[in-house]
Amino acid sequence: MKRATVIFITAAILAACCPRQSSTPVYLDPTKPLEERVEDALQRMTLEEKVAITHAQSKFSSAGVPRLGIPELWHTDGPHGIRPEVLWDEWDQAGWTNDSCTAYPALVNLAATWDRELSALYGKCIGEEARYREKDILLGPGVNMGRTPLNGRTFEYMGEDPYLAAQLVVPYIKGVQEQGVAACVKHFAVNNQETRRTKTNSNVDDRTLYEIYFPAFKAAVQEGGAWAIMGSYNLWNGQYNCHNKRLLQDILKDEWGFDGVVISDWGGCRDDDEAAANGLDIEMGTWTNGLQGAASNTYDMYHLANPYLERLRDGRATEEGLDDKARRVLRTIFRTAMNPVQNFGSFTSPEHFAASRKIAAEGIVLLKNGGALPLRVDEISPRASLGRDDKPTILLVGENAYKMMVVGGGSSNLKAKYEVIPLDALREAFEGKADVVWERGYVGDTRTDYNAVVTGQDLSESRSPEQLKADAVAAAKEADIVIFIGGLNKSKFQDNEGTDRVDIVLPYGQDELIEALAEVTPNLIVVNISGSPVAMPWADKVNAIVQAWYGGSESGHALADVLTGAVNPSGKLPFTMPKALADGPIKTERQYPGIEVEGVPYWEEYYDEGVFIGYRWYSSKDIPVQYPFGYGLSYTSFELSGAFLTKKVVKAGSNVTAKVTVKNTGDKAGAEVVQLYVNDAEASVERPVRELKGFQKVYLAPGEARTLSFTLNPEDLSFFDADAHEWKLEPGDFHILIGTSSEDLPIDLLLTVK
């Protein structure tokens, strides 16, 4: 019997037997409005019961009210899949054999789809898996901005643009919560690095916050209706974010109207008084090393446990404040575990694996194509004339063609039911048509386990780096098609929670290996698998470049679909691919990773670049990049025409609509992402040269055309006036720029605001 069914039956018996309750309590009546149920339950709870539901009772659960038949809340790590079960008080796995999940693509892969419908599908599927496993709160999605490409958790977020992240997080949240699972949006806020993440104070001005770092969170709350928000480890303006009064109480709850729960990141709660007073609702993970190093009654010693009770009893904390926390927790329980509409979910279904494959493929970005793609073994290069009459040979070079990528990376580590690697997928795709062989080329990360999740692969290697390179080059000389599949992995100082990268240069000598391969094969295809930007100094020497991601269970199949043309690539970069790290906006140590200040117990970090991150920086400073934000090619071609504004002159406060026709002018069906940017011709503050304010992904058959509409509201043209604490629209001329990337905007429509 499912847990929720047990809850309702048990609670009904309790209500019938309890002499204090002559009729069924309102909180047990699923037909009653939510707030009535919350208030009824609240008035029946003791002080101790209210406090108990505001902190953890185990590594991944927080207490309910057993006396009243109100269940606990079960949390689970996401946002790319449902974490394997762990022991009650430890990070170690519980040893279950039925918790191998569907691994979904990393969120940066989802962002690269630029597809709201796929984001909704992603949320629905992962919500179904969470519900099946009887999880109430999914710890994701993440929407922190890509301030620096060095951030180890870039792969867990949705890119460098607040509008893109805001547009994609909303359908994800709705998809999850329609399954009766709370989406816990993280990490709030300005958590943009892993280096000293728990002891760095982010100094950010309000304009930058509201224009860059807040929009996705605000949209999650006001448009997505998120039921939970997770605080971040860092400090903002001198106060830890898991109990930062201005951040959580003044902005999130009071200004934005958030009615859900604020949950601490695991171990992010630091102070008794601030935890009680500053907007935190559920404290999780304090003393995260099980029960070691703390009293035997660890959970009673949490900041929101016995210390909170003491403050309530002696008047240092108010019961009014406690009731607000308890209401929010009860509201979450009634929305999830005791939701009137019970969903039972599904787990590792064929539909889920199909969705994972589709999302992964739709996010793959074709960066360059000199004609080598899509792969056609029946039209291979004349270099195959080597005296052979057998099947052509496709050589894969690179560790990432073989290495499984779901395992590792921190809290996003998953025990997947299976993971298809590129080598196996391409052998499957070309079975009977070509011989697909593999040369490792370099040794990167040989670990095959993380937190007791074991891939079963053997990544040991006896050859020297020199021999590996020589063997790969020799094999390339004899192959008909050569595909290098490399990039990053989830080891320390790469795409990994807890550490940042040290540069954007490819590790393990991959640049030199690619250069050597390019010298011996005329049509080298490079596939970069990473969750963050990398430098590509060899870009002009190879025929084709494909940006792939950590694609989850079906990552190999998704890559093969794109390389063979079964899927026409339509992904667009969700971040800028710079030529070098030094080209970016982070110029000083005080900007990143922060500096020590005498007498201050944490490191100070200053966001001196303001709103100029990502493409906002490169375009405003006219710095050339390898590939711009929003860029991506297709196997077909598209044409934009007939663009116009419904009004060329508007009064401040009015909306305006831009229209443009997009046509597939090639011979293959495909999708294009039409993007709209705004340029303020003259402003009283320094503004970026262009800012994304609209996009639509449209699928078209050969010769098909469609007219798209983009509606701009006053805020889309405004900047945030920190002094007035409001969005300010200044009269004047605005350029409405339309195209297919942040650097390819051939349409310029003039709008005058009076």
Q: How confident is the model at residue 387 (pLDDT cuts 50, 70, 90)?
A: low
Report pLDDT for 90.
Answer: 82
- Does residue 163 come out as left (phi exceeding 0), alpha (psi in the -120 to 50 range) or beta? alpha
Looking at the domain covering 636-753, what would its CATH class be? mainly beta
Q: Is 364-567 assigned to CATH 3.40.50.1700?
A: yes
Are 741 and 628 in contact, with CB atoms under 8 Å apart? Answer: yes
Neighbour-count burial of 588, counting CB atoms closer than 10 A to its CB (0-12 exposed, 13-18 middle, 19+ buried): exposed
Are 199 and 148 in contact, with CB atoms under 8 Å apart? Answer: no
Instruction: For residue 558, give the H/E element and its range.
Output: helix 555-564
Neighbour-count burial of 140, counting CB atoms closer than 10 A to its CB (0-12 exposed, 13-18 middle, 19+ buried): buried
What's the mean pLDDT in 530-559? 98
What's the mean pLDDT in 71-90? 93
Q: What is the dihedral of CA 694, 700, 702, 707, to 10 degrees?
A: -50
Closest Cα partner for 629 from 368, 365, 369?
365
DSSP collapsed to 3 states, 568-619: CCCCCCCCCECCCHHHCCCCCCCCCCCEECCCCCCEEEECCCCCCCCHHHHH
pLDDT higher at 18 or 174: 174
Tokens found for residue 265: 């990141």
What's the mean pLDDT in 374-390? 69
How far is it, in rounded angstroms, from Cα 690 to Cα 697?
A: 20
What's the mean pLDDT in 41-55? 98
Q: Is 50 exceeded by the pLDDT of residue 717?
A: yes
Q: How confident is the model at residue 382 (pLDDT cuts 50, 70, 90)?
A: low
304-330 per-position pLDDT tens digit:
999 999 999 999 999 999 999 999 999
Partners of 547 in the beta sheet?
Answer: 365, 528
pLDDT higher at 612 or 8: 612
pTM for the model stands at 0.95
Q: Is 70 exceeded by the pLDDT of residue 7?
A: no
Are 624 and 617 in contact, with CB atoms under 8 Å apart? Answer: no
What's the mean pLDDT in 668-678? 98
How far is it, in rounded angstroms, from Cα 163 to Cα 174?
A: 18
What's the mean pLDDT in 80-90? 92
Say which range, 85-99, 164-178, 434-448, 558-572, has the weakest mean pLDDT: 85-99
> Vertex 141, ends 545 and 581: CA angle to 5°?
40
Report pLDDT for 543.
Answer: 98
Report pLDDT for 386.
Answer: 56
Are 364-567 and 636-753 the same fold in CATH?
A: no
**Domain ranges for the chain:** 3-93+101-335, 364-567, 636-753
How far is it, in rounded angstroms, from Cα 475 to Cα 469?
A: 10
Neighbour-count burial of 178, counting CB atoms closer than 10 A to its CB (0-12 exposed, 13-18 middle, 19+ buried): middle
Tokens found for residue 242: 């898991």
What's the mean pLDDT in 132-147? 98
Closest Cα partner for 558 from 19, 250, 236, 112?
112
Q: Is 50 exceeded by the pLDDT of residue 165?
A: yes
621-655 per-position pLDDT tens digit:
999 999 999 999 999 999 999 999 999 999 988 99
Tokens found for residue 660: 């443009």
How far is it, in rounded angstroms, from Cα 692 to Cα 717?
A: 11
Please tell me the chain's helix, strand, coil percentages from 3-state DSSP, rounded to the nearest 5: 30, 20, 50
272-281 per-position pLDDT tens digit:
999 999 999 9
DSSP collapsed to 3 states, 303-345: CCCHHHHHHHHHCCCCHHHHHHHHHHHHHHHHHCCCCCCCCCC
Q: Of 99, 136, 161, 265, which one is the catalytic site residue?
A: 265
Instruction: For residue 395, give the H/E element and its range.
Output: strand 393-397
Q: Which fold has domain 3-93+101-335?
A: TIM Barrel (3.20.20)
- Percent share of the chain, pLDDT over 90: 90
Report pLDDT for 14.
Answer: 47
How far is it, in rounded angstroms, from Cα 226 to Cα 258?
A: 8
How far is it, in rounded angstroms, from Cα 71 to Cα 67?
A: 10
Neighbours of 401 (CB within 10 A): 27
Residue 716's φ and ψ, nearest 5 degrees, are -65, -25
Q: Is 90 exceeded by the pLDDT of residue 377?
A: no
Q: Does the annotation count 265 as an active-site position?
A: yes
How far is it, in rounded angstroms, from Cα 39 to Cα 638?
A: 57
Q: Is 80 exceeded by the pLDDT of residue 23?
A: no
Report pLDDT for 388.
Answer: 57
- Does residue 301 come out as left (phi exceeding 0), alpha (psi in the -120 to 50 range) or beta? alpha
Q: How confident is the model at residue 13 (pLDDT cuts 50, 70, 90)?
A: very low
How far is it, in rounded angstroms, from Cα 79 to Cα 411?
A: 9
Neighbours of 155 (CB within 10 A): 27
Q: Is 137 helix (H, G, I), strand (E, B) or coil?
A: strand
Neighbour-count burial of 559, counting CB atoms closer than 10 A to its CB (0-12 exposed, 13-18 middle, 19+ buried): buried
452-508 per-position pLDDT tens digit:
899 999 999 999 999 999 999 999 999 999 999 999 999 999 999 999 999 999 999
Neighbours of 379 (CB within 10 A): 7
Report pLDDT for 705.
Answer: 98
Neighbours of 391 (CB within 10 A): 14
Question: 33 vs 5, 10, 26, 260, 369, CA distance in Å?
Answer: 20, 21, 9, 16, 57
| Beta strand extents in 41-199 (DSSP E only) | 61-62, 73-77, 137-139, 182-188
- Computed over every residue of the chain, the mean pLDDT equals 94
How far is it, in rounded angstroms, from Cα 423 to Cα 395?
A: 10
